[in-house]
Each structure stands twice: as structure tokens, then as C-alpha cells.
Structure 1
Amino acid sequence: MGRHSLPDGSAPASTGSRPGARRRTIAISTGLVLAVAAGSVVALRSDLLPFGEPCDGQSVRLDVAASPDIAPALDAVAKTAREGAARTDGRCLDVKITPRPAHEIADAFGQRPVDPEFQVWIPDSSLWVDRVDAGSGTPLTTAGTIASSPIALGAVPEAAKALGWPKKTYTWTELTEAATTDDALRLGVADPARSATGLLALARINAANAKDTKDGDEADTRTAAAAKLLYQRVADGDGQVLATLPRDDSGAEQGNPRRNQALLLSEQAAYAHNTGEDGGPDLDLFYPQNGTAQLDYPYTLVDDDETTPAQTRAANRFLTLLSEPGGQRALRRHGFRTDNGRPDSEVVDAAGGREPQPYSADPADPPSVKELQALLGMWTVTVQSARITTVVDASASMANPVPDRGGQSRMDLAKNSLLQALATFTPEDEIGLWKFATYLDGNKDHVELSPTNRLGDRDKDGTTHRDALAAAFGSLAPVPGGATGLYDTTLAAYEKACGAYASGKFNALVIVTDGANDDSSGIGLDSLVGKLEKLADPKRPVPLIAIAIGAQADKSALDRIAAPTGGSAHRVDDPSQIHQVILKAIMAAGSKGPR
């Protein structure tokens, strides 16, 4: 529990709460109905309820940063509290709501503990709070959730009709395929790196793929393919993606290739669009059959030494106002679900929901922080071009046969696995190849077999760089008598990777080895780590991903080498696992990169 605490008998909201939440959450000892009914006398004696009398100049200021979609509803409640002279500690409650995108605050909070200018944060999803907690950033305490909104697919009437709305229902997999395989349907989504709606939708697509295929690699491939299609029409944020819809009902607007005909969005966003005055055709909503994702709006207290006890009690007072009938009505008027996420017929109807669409279905269990991190990494690698140099151990021990693999050597299996990894990259990606062993090129322990160039580039004879790189991978062979010149090679490859950093791409260095450094005449481990620390630049990140094959590889040394670069080291007993480990490590490193 953080430094915040709620007075006995308080009644924070708990609408739309997530099952299995792992974060610090304040226990609610008394239900809202009991607190309002039985606790009214205590509240009156403490000057906590509105009196309807004008303020005498004495007030308690509470600053709240809120997701832009819910900020207007919160502001309405705060305005009512001011006009009704709602009090806390005998003084008027003065709540200021500031709209702030959740990803901006999560990024600031997650890097290190900070002193914010607000005492309460209400993002649109608990995933942002989970991310801060996982990064050991600014201490936070969640007091409950104040509203919810399921994520659906909204389509303009013409597109909805083509998809069979409202009678036809879809699973997440079917809905994504139906919306992305038809060239005539333009589907938009907010960037999952900046939008909880975009990321949670991607998580449900991935979960559906995993259930349908029963194969993790196949599921990842399907999700990556869906991500590539979604990226074609991605917008920076939730507000920006709504702006991509047609502005009016004219055929020209709906036929404009720059305008989306469908969006992955929250029910509340569809409600705001359909009831707004900006014009444009209303949206019809498809609710996926197999469990939707849900925005849950956690009421989050920011644990800060400068927060006074009066501000803490004011935060609790405002939470109570949001839980009371007036606050709940204000949230529903803005398109949010209250009452533990139960659908409101007026909200659903205005948002574009109709039976038999399963808008009453329970939400799916939320993804874990680890799962979301992997998805963000996948998104980064999938939609952002990569620049990766692969450095492969060619020492004599790579000729050793792998048990139970039909006599195939470590190098044979490593080559096949690396070729599988190569097949996952696009023509825009830049991939190169080095090999290393002691004294491979004069006094050097390494040689470049293929430069790190764009895979789609062609040579004069018309051969693509992908073809040339595949041939270079195929030519890899152990060097008889060659030892493992790991440290000198690592420094040389990392220096070159940093010097050739490509802005706007995911840059990385991958090293594959089955041994410990055998070159005593070269640089030592401590000196190498020191030089890597100096070379690593957080503004130009080049994570080093090390793959240790077998027990003879020096995993502890690789851990030290990878750490200052923001990368990671991994051990595999079977070299055929290399491509899977590389892709997962790239995804994890990509999720840490700058946004």
C-alpha cells in the first residue's frame, strides 16, 4: 500500500473492476449503498456532504489528470460539486480536471519516480498503471475503477451492411479477417504504443489466434500479419483515428481512400461520435463473440510526499461523488458504462449496438504486463523497419553434432534457424552477417560476409540482398582449429552498429556463440563492458542480443556484455530454437525502445 489511505467508512467506486488484478488496490470494507445510507449522519457531522451554501473562500484544491475521453464527464461532476458547495474537512471541494493522454503520463512515471502536479490520475486503462508498477517508477495506489467501456469494431452504415450487421456476429479472428481481407474496407486503429484501445484490441486478436491455432509460433505469425495490415491505416492516438472517418454522408467522402470506413474503438468513443455535432455518418458496432477487451478507468492516487492529508481526503471525497447517483448519471451521459460494467440500453443504442450483437457479454480476462510487453515488441518489429547485424560463431566446436538430431552439427541447425528468422523480415528491413573465430582474417577474429543493407535492394545482376544474404548464411562453416574470439568481435561489431545507426528503425546486434572467449591476447571482459557502457546511447539504442548454444557457452559473460546495451542473453540447448529466441528477444527489446 502506498502512503495514501482512505478514511474508515469511505466508499470508493468499483465499477468495471478487473478480475485477478495484481496491483495494490485499496480494500473496500463497506459497500457503496451501506456507506451512503448508514454513513450519511457521520458525513453530515463531518461537513462532507453538499450543503448548498456558498463557499466562504476556504477550499481544498484537488488536481486530477484524466484521459481525454473521460475528462468532460469528470469536469461535469467537479462543476456540480463547486456549484453545490460540496465540502471536505469543512472546506469547499475545488477539483480541477486536466486532460492528459495516458501514454504520456505512463512514460514519465515509468522512467523514475517524479513529483507530479496532480494528486489523482485517471487513465483509460489499468494497463498504464501496471506498466508504471512493473517499471518501479512513481508509486501509485489504485482506489477502484469508476467506469468502463468495451472495445468493438465500428463501421459506417455501408460497410456495416456489407459485413452483415447487425445479425451477423464474429469472433475476433473472423472479424479481423473480414475487415482486413476486403480491399474495399478501410480499417483504422490507434497506435498500440500510444493507445490502450489499440493495444488491448491487438491483445484480443493475439489471444484468439493462440486459441485457434494451438501453436505459439503460428499464432505469433498470424498476429504479426494482422498487425502489418492494421499499421497501413494506423493513427497516432484515439482522437486522431476518429478524425479519419468520413465527415459527411456523401459518396465522395465515403469513397475517399484517405477516409476509414471502420475503426477499432471503444463503445464510448462510438457514442461520442454518434451523438456529437461534427457530422459524418453514424457508426454501427460489432461486438466480438469470444470476449471483448475493456477500458476500465482506474482511480489512481499518486503517492507523493508533498500530498497533504487534506488533499488525500479530498481525493476520497471526489471518488465518492463519482460513485453516487449524480456522478454515475454524468458518466452515463457521456457514454460510459457504470454499475460494474453492465450495459446501459440508451448508451448501447446511441453508440450503435443492436441485438444480436453480444454487447452484454462479460469481458475477457485482461492480458498480463508480460504479454503486453511482448505485443508491443512485436508491434515495434512488425511495423517499424529493422536494422540488424547477425554475428555467428564459426569456431571449430560449432562442428560438434547435436544429440538426437540425426548427426546434424550445431552449425547446420544454427544456419537453418537463422534462415527461418530471415524469412520473417520485410524488404524494408536491413540485415547483415558476420562470422568470427580466432585469427580469421589476419590478426582479426571476424569477417563481414554480407553488409547490413536493405533486403529489397538489388545488385546489378538483379539479385536481391535477401538472396545474397541467404547464400551467405548457407556458406557458414566451422573453421578447423578456430577458437572463440568473442570479445574483440563483439566490440568491433557494436562499434560499427552504433556508428551506422539508422534513425527511425529498430537497430540491434545479434551474436550467436557456443563457447567462451578463447582469445587471451585481445580485450578482457571488464574492459569490454566498460567500452560498451560508453558506446551505448539511450537516444540511439542498439540492444545486443546474445544467444548461447549449449552448456559450454559463457552465459554469465554474455549477460554482462548485453546489460549496458539494453539487450539480453539467452541459452538454447538446441540451435534450431535460435530463430524463435531471436524474435522474442527482439520483441522484448523493441518494447523498451523510445516511442
Structure 2
Amino acid sequence: MSDNEWPPPGSGEWSDPPRTRSRVLLSAALVVVVLLVAGGVTWQLMRNGSAQPIAQSTVAPSQSAGRPTVAPCPDPELTVAVAPEIEPVIRAAADGLKPANQRCAPITVRAEEPGVTLASKQRPDVWIPSSTSWLTIAAQQKINFKPSGATLAWSPIVLTAPESLVGLYSPDGKPAWTALLRAVTEGRIPVVTMPDPLLTTTGLLSVHGVHAAAALTTKDPGIAQLRALTLRSRLEDADADPVSTLKKLGAQTSPTDASYAVGVYPMVEQQLLAYQKQGHEVALSGAPPVDGLVQADYPYAVRKGVKTELVEQLRSAISREALEQAGFRTEPTAGSARLPDTAAGLLTPAKQWAQYQKLAFQVLLLIDASGSMNERIGGGTATKASLLRESGATAADLFNQDTTIGMWYFGAASANAPAHTEEVSFGPITSSVDGKPRRDLLAEKIGSYRPVTSAGTPLFQSVLDGIETMRKDASPTLPSVVVVLTDGADGGTRFTMSNQEFLKKIADGRDPKRPIPVIAVGYGPGANMAALQSMAKATGGQAIAARNPADLASAMAKAFLAARATP
């Protein structure tokens, strides 16, 4: 029986004088009234015998006064947001700081991807993202977190897959982004999955790893960009949630099913080690790619203005031993690619990657084959045409399996020559033309592209014909675009017309129900950008300048992205 319980009748404890008993009864009555009216205060007897209030509680109408509910805990003294994979380590450290005699913890730890933390209105006091890069991005958004002490841990990004797929992108036991790209474009790997680079560290770092690998294959940054986007064009899922994906893999019972459900998937090494320890039916294997090694790192960052002893107490409670047991590295990995040190450098490729639309669309390529394309550039042996051959062959890989495509060259070498010639007939990129896959034929034609020296530039007539052809031949249920690349202005042929006449014909033939936007790339200083801009405006498209011929590949990448963004 506790000290504050009523004694039972006959216990011999009612020997106080009548006045004392009256005061006790009155006090008891007042306590009952207070409990019934105000809800009361719950008291706890400590070991030393003194009673102290620990929390207020209210009594629901259906409850007896003797069984009050316990009130919720007050707001914690410290809030901590952490990357999901390191959350168990941080939570254990925080729980170790909870006083033994208190029900409510002074520290709250929540697991969330770094991009979610940035978007949240509830800023944590301490932030442990999975990359210092997120602190750079946060600072650009005027969200200031300052690292406190050394980085807690590291974990490289590994290319992971069921063991039956690993050899396809890991020649000689060395995984590579470029080997993965080749295997995907050749159809040897069924599925590649990645998380969102604007929300997750795995996605953000993987994008930079792919770009670093592509940069090793060419001196042209534009071509490197095209090659990186080629992998993006082949992703089955580009915004897979890491935690859900791991659960999905863990639920698979067949390696074949896992290969088609998730396929190759980048993750931090710690996640792979944790998965392997759990002994799932489908075994996963993985290692860091040798041509674009990137690593997650886990800074302990404190929001500006936060001052509490718990900040340092928590940091001290996170031990190297606990991190290593959880699968993290406590020293950085040698040879990791250097990441951009600005928010723009980090986010530009990530946004491009995230905004890429993997959709079925129809495109007609119009490529200028006039004589001026044979001009040399930069005082060397390279010509505009040779740059186009290299860039165009790479661009041909960007079109995904749902693309319907055709290609024309335009340029009239004689008075009676047509304005354009069909080089690749319009049709699904997966179908064949005379026994050859259309994608291969497209790359082959671009690779053998040779402009005619004496040919003029029937630009306007070719664009008009291209728009009309797309209205007739393309499916009305799918987006359709005309992409034109030219280095000059309309002229030098029997098809020559003024810009005003051309725009009038565009307006007269407009069909609001079947818009055909024109994406125009002006190649070199001689391109008539004013005409291309008016052409794009009149059709709802976009004009892109490549003033420096060496920037052709970058311009083609922009044109490709613009085409895919066209509704």
C-alpha cells in the first residue's frame, strides 16, 4: 500500500483526534473535487520518500478519477535530423543520454533524406546529412548549418546488383559506370534504377559519378554530357526511394525477379553491408566504380544560433566503434572524385537529370548539309561536319525505346535538286529498316555525313515540309517535334523566301489541335539566330545558339532536353 492511499477500515489508523480527522476528511474531499474539476496532478514518490510532480494529466469522462492518463512529453531540448542509414547509430547515442529516472527524452532524432530536411519548415538543431554537399546547397538557400568537429563517417557509393548481373558492368572485377552504360545500351542489362538526385545523396553523388566517368572518355565536355544523359535515358526508375528499394529487394525470392524489379542500383556501401548481414534470399554484390568513385560523408552540423550542452554531449556519445560496427568507414576513401564546391555546380547536372522526361515522343531531325558545313574551325583540321559526326553519333544513343524518329538532310546542290533528302525513314527506333535496326542506321548515317560543297541552304522550305510531314505521319496522341540544326541562313536555292513569307506560311498552316514545335540549333557565328528565334516562337519551340562550333555537343544536349520537355 502506498503512502497516499486511503487506509482500509479497521486498520487502526483512525486514532487521531476528531478535529484532526475532520481536517483530513475535508482535505480528501477537496482533493477529489480538484481531480474531478481540474484534472489533477500525478505524483510520484521518489526513493528518498519525497513526492514530486512529473506531468499533468487529464481524466477522460469514461475514466475513473483514480486512473488519469499521462500527459504528452514537453518539446525536446534538441532535435536532430539524420540520413536514414546512420539513424540507428545516432538514436542509440541519443538514448544513452536520457536520464534513467525520466520518461521523456531530451533529444528527438528523425530519419529523413537530406533533400527532405532542406524542404521542411521544421529546421533541426543538429543535421547529419549523408554528404557535406548538402550544407553547401543549404547555405545557398540561406539555411546555415556549421560543421562541429571532424566528419563522423564515410561510405562510398557502390554499384549493386544480384550476382548474376555484376559481371556485365564489372569487367575483371572492376565495376565501371561506362561499362554499365555499354551493357544497358546493348540491351544486356534489363533494368537500372536510381534515386532522385534532388532528394537523396545516392542520387546526387551518382549523377556526378556518371559525369566524371563520361569526362574520361572524351575531351569534349558536350559529348561527355550527352554520354551521361544516355544512362539517364535508360533508367527504369529515376526517383526510387532508397529505403523502399532495399525493402523491395529483401522481399524478392528469385535473382531473376530481382534483376527485373530493381536491376542495378547504386547505394552507399553501408547499406549493402547491412543488407548482406540480414541474409536475404537474393544475394547482392557490389563495389565502388573505378571510373567515377564518389563517397558519402556524414558531417555533424549545428544550426546557427543553437546553444545547448546537449549538442556536444551527443557528438561525444557517437563512437567510432559504433559507426564501424554499423558498416561505416571512419576514414575517407582514397581516389574519390572531387565534387563541385558551389551549389550551382552541384545542382545543375542534378536538376537536368531529375527534369529529364522519359516519355514516348516523335521527332524529325533536319540536318543542314549545305557547303558551309565543310568549313574548318579553330585553324585545325576539324570541320563543322566532323564535329557533327562525332556529336551526332553520341546523340543517337539518347533516344529511348519509346521514340519514333526520322532524319533528313537539307541542302540543294543544283537548280533542280530537292530541298531535302530522307536519310532515315520515320518509324519506331526499335524497328528495322531493310534488316537494320533504325537506331543503328541513324548512327551510321550521321557517322557518314558529308555535306555537298556547292549546296545552298533551303532552311525555311525544309522546316515547312518537316512540319507538314509530322502532321500527316506522326501519331496525334503523342508529342511531336521537329529538331533542326543549321549553320547559316536561308538562301542560295530556288526555295529561298523571306522570313516574313516563311512566318506567314507557318501561321496559315497552324493547327491548334496538332502543334508541332520546332527546336532550332544555330550552329556557328553565321547562323541567323533572329530567324531561328522567330521560327521557334511561331511554333511554340525553342532556339538554341552554339556560337562556338566546339560547343555543338552541348547545344545538341540542350536541344534534346528541350524536345523532350515539349508537351
Which one of the candidate residues 357, 363, 385 is aligned to 1:388?
A: 363
Does 2:559 match 1:554? Answer: no
Aligned residue for 2:208? 203
Does 2:266 match 1:264? Answer: yes
Describe how 1:182-581 pairs up with structure 2 within 5 A. 190-191=194-195, 193=197, 195-208=200-213, 210-211=215-216, 231=235, 236-246=240-250, 253=254, 258=259, 264-270=266-272, 273=275, 286=287, 292-296=294-298, 316-317=306-307, 323-326=311-314, 329=317, 332=318, 344-351=320-327, 361=334, 364-367=337-340, 369-370=344-345, 373-374=348-349, 377=352, 387-393=362-368, 398=372, 401-402=375-376, 416=389, 420-421=393-394, 423-425=396-398, 428=401, 429-434=403-408, 452-459=426-433, 462=435, 464-466=437-439, 484-485=459-460, 489=464, 492=467, 509-516=482-489, 519-520=497-498, 522=500, 545-555=519-529, 558=532, 567=542, 569-572=544-547, 574=549, 580-581=553-554
Q: Distance in 1 between matches of 2:540 and 2:138?
A: 22
Aligned residue for 1:584? 557
Q: Distance in 1 between matches of 2:464 and 2:556?
A: 22
1:60 and 1:555, CA in 2 relative to 1: closer, same or farther beyond 3 A?
farther
The residue identity in structure 1 corresponding to 2:500 is G
| Residue 151 of structure 1, CA deviation | 2.5
Deviations along 1:112-147, one digit per CA (max 9) or x if unpaired, are xxxx6534596644656767888xxxx441313586
1:391, 1:435 within 8 Å by CA — same for their partners in 2? Answer: yes
| Residue 548 of structure 1, CA deviation | 1.9
The residue identity in structure 1 corresponding to 2:327 is A
2:196, 2:204 within 8 Å by CA — same for their partners in 1? Answer: yes
2:405, 2:428 within 8 Å by CA — same for their partners in 1? Answer: yes
What's the TM-score once normalised by structure 2's chain length?
A: 0.55
| Residue 158 of structure 1, CA deviation | 7.9
Does 2:160 match 1:151? Answer: no
Percent of pairs with identical residues: 16
Deviations along 1:489-520, one digit per CA (max 9) or x if unpaired, are 499489959985876x9x76432123346743
Q: Distance in 2 between matches of 1:496 and 1:535?
A: 10
RMSD of Structure 2 on Structure 1 (CA): 6.6
The residue identity in structure 2 corresponding to 1:150 is S
Find the structure with the greater CA-based Rg. 2
What's the TM-score once normalised by structure 1's chain length?
A: 0.53
Q: Distance in 1 between matches of 2:181 and 2:421?
A: 48
1:189, 1:198 within 8 Å by CA — same for their partners in 2? Answer: no
1:142, 1:299 within 8 Å by CA — same for their partners in 2? Answer: no
Residue 424 of structure 1 aligns to a residue in which SS? helix
| Residue 238 of structure 1, CA deviation | 0.7
1:394, 1:479 within 8 Å by CA — same for their partners in 2? Answer: no
Aligned residue for 2:43? none
Q: Distance in 2 between matches of 1:124 and 1:142?
A: 17
Relative contact order: is structure 1 or structure 2 higher (C-alpha 8 Å, sep ≥ 6)?
Answer: 1
Q: Distance in 2 between matches of 1:117 and 1:63?
A: 13
| Residue 457 of structure 1, CA deviation | 1.6
Q: Which residues of structure 2 form unaligned runs of 5+? A: 1-52, 57-70, 492-496
Residue 245 of structure 2 aligns to a residue in which SS? helix
Describe how 1:131-170 pairs up with structure 2 within 5 A. 139-145=141-147, 149-153=154-158
The residue identity in structure 2 corresponding to 1:485 is F
1:271 and 1:376, CA in 2 relative to 1: closer, same or farther beyond 3 A?
same
| Residue 197 of structure 1, CA deviation | 0.6
Q: Distance in 1 between matches of 2:439 and 2:190?
A: 31
The residue identity in structure 2 corresponding to 1:143 is F
1:398 and 1:521, CA in 2 relative to 1: closer, same or farther beyond 3 A?
same
1:241 and 1:509, CA in 2 relative to 1: closer, same or farther beyond 3 A?
farther
| Residue 373 of structure 1, CA deviation | 3.6
The residue identity in structure 1 corresponding to 2:545 is H
How many pairs align? 468
| Residue 389 of structure 1, CA deviation | 2.5
Q: Distance in 2 between matches of 1:535 and 1:247?
A: 47
The residue identity in structure 2 corresponding to 1:191 is P
The residue identity in structure 2 corresponding to 1:118 is Q
Q: Distance in 2 between matches of 1:499 and 1:133?
A: 48
